[in-house]
Structure 1
Amino acid sequence: MNHKLTLPCALMLAGLLLAPPTTMASETLEERVVRLEQELAELKNLLKKSPEPTAPSPSHSAPAVTAITTNSGVKARLYGFARFDASYDSGHIYPGNIALWAQPGTGGNDGEWNLTAGATRLGIDIGGPDTGYLKLSGNVELDFLGGGSENNLNPRLRHGYLKAYWPASDFSITAGQTWDLVSSLIPFVDDPGMMWASGNIGTRHPQLRLTKGFAVGEKSHLEIAAAASRTIGEKNSFGIDTGKDADMPTVQGRIALSAPLTDSGKPAAIALSGHYGQEEWDSDKLNHHETIDSWSCNVELSFPLSSRLLLAGEYFTGSNLDDYWGGVFQGVNAKGAKPEGIRSSGGWAALRYAYSPAVTISLGGGFDDPENGDLSGMENPRTFNRSLFAAYVNQLTPNFVFGLQLSKWDTGYLNTPDSDAVRAQSSMTYRF
C-alpha cells in the first residue's frame, strides 16, 4: 500500500465509524450498511489508482533457486562452492596445490608458496520423478584440479552417476563414476589431498554397483555392496593401458554394520572392504604378457566417543595400489626381469571435536609403508610416507567457511636421504 495514503484513509475510516449519533439518526440500519460499503469501495478504487512503491534491488544478488523442475518432471538443484587455498611449505611438497609427500633433496630448507582456486566445485543433484516403489536420483560434479596452468585450470569430473533405489526392499543400483567401496571414510583434513599416499586409499572410478540393506534389531543396520569398476593401469612399453587390457574389470565389495553403541545419539560403524583386479603387461605384440594382480583388504571404524567427539580411522594392506593412491602412489615395479606388484600397508586415525555447531577441531595422522624388497631397481622409489595434522574449521556463516591446517610430512627414499616438510595452510570457501 502507498504509505502516503495510509494516514488519510485511516482517518476517513475512523471518522465514518466514530461519527456523532446525530448525523446517523435519520438512517436505518440497512441504509447505513449500504452507505459504508459504497464509501469503502471508493477508498479501494483510490488505492488501486496509486502506484505501489518499488523497493531498490541489490545490484549483486539474485533470487535464490532451490530446485528447477524440467519438462520431464526431473528436479535439478545446483550447488557448489568457490574456494581459495593458500599454503606455505618449509620444503617442497608434491604436487603443491594439494599435499601428498615431501619431495627428495629439500630437507626442509627450501620453502615455497602455493595459491590456488582449483578446489572450487560445481555440482547438480537430480532426482525424480518417483513412483510408488522406485526413487531415481543422480549427480554430476566437477572441480578444477585436472591440470592446466595455474590461472587456466582444467575441469575434472568427480561424480557422474545415476541411482535407482527401491525403498521397500532397501536395494539400489548405482551406475557411473562415484566413490569406491574400498576404504570409504574421508579423513578430517582441510587439504583437498585427503591424506592420499599417506594412509588413505580409495578414490573414484566408473562402476556398476549393487547395494542391499538389512535391518538388524530395532536400531542397527547392515549394508552389503558389490561393484564392477574400471581398472586404470599404467602405460606399458607399447603405450597400452594395462588395466584396460586386462581380461576382467576390478571387483569391489564392502560390508558395513552401524549401531548405537553409546549415549551420544550417533551410531558407531565398522566396515570391511576390499577389491581384486588385474593388469596385463605385454612383453611383445604376440599377446605374451604377465598378469599383475591388484588387491586390498581394508577395515574402517567410526566411533562417537561423545556427542561432540568422534574417533575414526582405516587400515589397509594389499598390492599394486597406485590406482587407489596406495603404496605412496607406486603400483608395479617394471625394472626387473618381469613386472611385479608392489605390496604396501598403512592407515590413518583421527579425532574430531565439535567445539560448537560451527567450529570443529581435528587431530590425526597416517602412514603408508611399501615393502622395500619390492622396490629394488626402481629410480629413487618412496619407501614410506607419514603425515601428522591439526585442522581448525569455522563456519562463520552458513555460506562462508574458514579453515586452517598445520601438517608435518616425512617421506623416505631408497637411494637418497629422507625428506621432511611442514605445511601451513588456510582456506576460504563460499558455499552456494
Structure 2
Amino acid sequence: MKKKLLLAICLMATMNGFAQKKDFSYKFYGQIRTDLYYNSRANKETVDGLFYMYPLDKLPDADGKDLNATANSSFYTLYTRLGIDVAGPKLGNAQTSAKVEVDFRGSGTTFSTVRLRHAYLNLDWGKSALLLGQTWHPLFGDVSPQILNLSVGAPFQPFSRAPQIRYRYQNRNFQLTGAAVWQSQYLSVGPDNVKSQNYIKNSCVPEIYAGIDYKTKKWLIGAGIELLSIKPRTESKVETVDPITDIKTSKTYKVNERITTLSYEAHLKYTNENWFVAAKSILGSNLTQLSMLGGYGISSIDKRTGEQEYSSILNSSSWLNVVYGKKWKPGLFLGYIKNLGTGDAVTKLYGTGTDVDQLVTAGAELTYNVAHWKFGLEYTLSSAWYGSMDKYEGKIKDTHSICNHRIVGVAMFMF
C-alpha cells in the first residue's frame, strides 16, 4: 500500500510535463534532508533522537553512576519528503485545491517507511475558506520557529499535524479561524502513561479551536483558545479482599470518566527583507497530543466502582526566535516552561514530563542559504529541573537540574 501511494505521487508529478486535465494544474515539490546530531546525554525524544525535546533525569546504577549520562550521535535522511499541490476547477464560486505530502519518518519504532504528513482539500471563496483533511494543528498555526532541530521548538511550540475541519474568514487585516480537530499520529497520554486514540474517540467530542489574527505586510499578531475533552477510561477493575478468608476477588465496572480542559495562546511575528522575529506564549492544560509537557492527575476515586475524577496540570510555555540575514543567517532561540501544578490534591499523574518543574532551552545556529540549498549548524543547551510531586497542589518540589548539550548539522536540497 505504501509503495502504491509513493508511486501515485510520482505519477501525478510527472503529469506536469504531459497533457493535463482541463482546469487542473499540478506542482511537484520535495527535499532531500540529512541530519547529523550529537547529544551529551540521553533525552526525551522520538525517531531515535531526531525529534529532540529535553534531557532525561538521572538514572543511577548499583554504584550510583548515572546511566543516562552517556553521549549519543547518529545520522539520518528520514525527513526527506515528497509532495504535490493541485489546483482544480471551480466548485460553484469556490476555487478548489488540494495537497498530499509524505516523508520517510515512519511511525512508532518503524523508520525509513512512508508516512503521511499532509492530505487535505480546500475550498476558497476569497474572503473565506474551508479546509478538510490533515495538516498543521491550529495551535502550531502560522507562527513557528525557524530552527534546524526537527522538533521545530517542541515542547515549547505546539507540534502536531491532525485531521481537521477548519474554516477561515478574512476581512481586510483581520482573520478569524475556527476548527474541529481529531487525533491520528499525535495522541493524548492517558492511564499508565499510554498514548491512545481511544481517549478522544470514546469522547465523541473533537478538539475545538477558535482564533483571531491581525495581519499586515510585516506583522502578524493573534491569539487563540483550545478546548480538549477526553475520556481516560470506560471501565475500571476493583479488587477486594475478604477479611475472613483473605480471598481476592476482582470486579469490572463501567465508568463515565471525562476531563475537559481549556488552553490559551498568543503569538506574534515580524518579517522584512532581513529580519525574522517571532514569539508565542501558551497557558496549556493537558496538551500532550501537541508534543508538549503536561497531563493530569487523579483527584478522587469512588471506593465501590473505582470511577476516577481528574485535575489537569497547568503549564506556562513561551519561546522567542530571532533570525537575521539572507544568504548567511544567524539565529537565536529561547524557550521556557514552568509547571504550575494541578491546583487540587492528586494521588497520581499521567502525561509527559510530569516530574519536570521547569525547562529552559537556549540555541544558536548559523545557516548558509542559496537557491535550492541550505547548510546549517546549530548548538542547543537544555536544562530540566526534576523533583518530586507535592500531592496537595500537584506541583514539583525539591528540584535538581539536568543539562544536555546538543549539536545538529543539516544539509538540504529543495526542489
Return the structure number with greater strand share. Answer: 2
Does 1:315 pair with 2:281? yes
What does residue 104 of structure 1 align with? 57
Superposed, which structure 2 residues align to 1:108-257 within 5 Å? 109-130=69-90, 133-147=93-107, 152-167=111-126, 170-184=127-141, 185-197=143-155, 199-215=156-172, 221-231=173-183, 232-234=187-189, 236=191, 241-257=198-214
What does residue 79 of structure 1 align with? 29
Gap regions ≥5 residues in structure 1: 1-63, 216-220, 260-265
What does residue 384 of structure 1 align with? 358
Quick one: distance in 2 between partners of 1:193 and 1:164? 30
1:373–1:236 distance in 2 versus 1, CA, 3 Å: closer
What does residue 316 of structure 2 align with? 345
Quick one: distance in 2 between partners of 1:294 and 1:74? 43
Q: CA deviation at 1:336?
A: 6.6
Root-mean-square deviation over aligned CA pairs: 2.8
Quick one: distance in 2 between partners of 1:332 and 1:146? 29
Q: CA deviation at 1:183?
A: 4.5
- Deviation string 1:356-407 (CA, Å, 9 cap, x unpaired) is 3x232111211222234578644972232221111222124x2221111110
Return the structure number with greater helix share. Answer: 1
Does 1:90 pair with 2:40? yes
Gap regions ≥5 residues in structure 2: 1-12, 59-65, 237-251, 302-307, 389-398
Quick one: distance in 1 between partners of 2:180 and 2:411? 37
Determine if contact 1:85/1:425 at 8 Å carries over to the other structure: yes
1:240–1:92 distance in 2 versus 1, CA, 3 Å: closer
Determine if contact 1:293/1:319 at 8 Å carries over to the other structure: no
Quick one: distance in 2 between partners of 1:278 and 1:243? 7
TM-score between both structures, scaled by the size of structure 1: 0.73
Which segments of structure 1 move beyond 6 Å, counting only runs of 4 or more? Answer: 237-240
Quick one: distance in 2 between partners of 1:115 and 1:373? 40
Which of 280, 298, 301 is the matching residue for 2:268?
301
Counterpart amino acid of residue 75 in structure 1: S
What does residue 359 of structure 1 align with? 328
TM-score between both structures, scaled by the size of structure 2: 0.76
Larger radius of gyration: 1
| Number of aligned residue pairs | 348
Counterpart amino acid of residue 277 in structure 2: L
